[in-house]
Amino acid sequence: MLAMAAGTILGRPGTAAADPCPDVEVIFARGTGEQPGIGKVGQAFVDALVPHLDGRTLETYAVNYPASFDFLTTAEGATDAGAQLAAVASRCKDTQLVLGGYSQGAATLDMLAGVPPLGDTVGEIGSAPALATPFVEKVSAAAVFGNPATRFGTPLSTTGFFAGRAIDLCDVEDPICSPTGDTMTAHEVYEFSPYPQQGADFVAGLLDH
């Protein structure tokens, strides 16, 4: 498995020093309780995406937020992800930006997309400004795993700013994202096949070659 830390660039030899802007940047928010970094699901997703890039450079950014059981801090992740996206989009005009998140990390992307993570009937977990309009179109694709908003009928695939450019991957037994789910262990399957590959295949189909 590729060991890729935030800020690592993979791809064409010798390009990183000459050009600080990667061809693709994945901004990924880890799930609740995972150690700082992009997390196991994020790593599996990136590993599955790399073969699609045909030597293009890839950089990852780990969203900086607590990912704790204090879900009111989820908004910190949305704010950080939005700031990173805006910074890269402003500095690197040709870099294609991909958003990703798992569990609580997926909720940070819901906020960026202007989607209440827990639905209108439950209310928001914290609050964060949605992504500023000039940067919405800078997002090439998004992939979320175990997204709580999906349970409430507002998946990123069809709702919010990234509709049509996002894929929501949810095991039917996962109660975090599925209205029929009742097995919490199903929320821990997203680092395994077929989910990372499905996310990578979808995202790759939206990236310019």
Catalytic machinery residues = 103, 174, 187
How many CA atoms lie within 13 Å of 59's alpha carbon, on the beta-carbon side? Answer: 19
Neighbours of 189 (CB within 10 A): 18
DSSP single-letter state for residue 93: T
Contact 111, 130 (CB under 8 A): yes
Phi–psi pair at 117, nearest 5 degrees: -60, -30
Q: In what order do the strands lie in the sheet with 166-169?
A: 9-10, 58-62, 24-29, 96-102, 139-145, 166-169
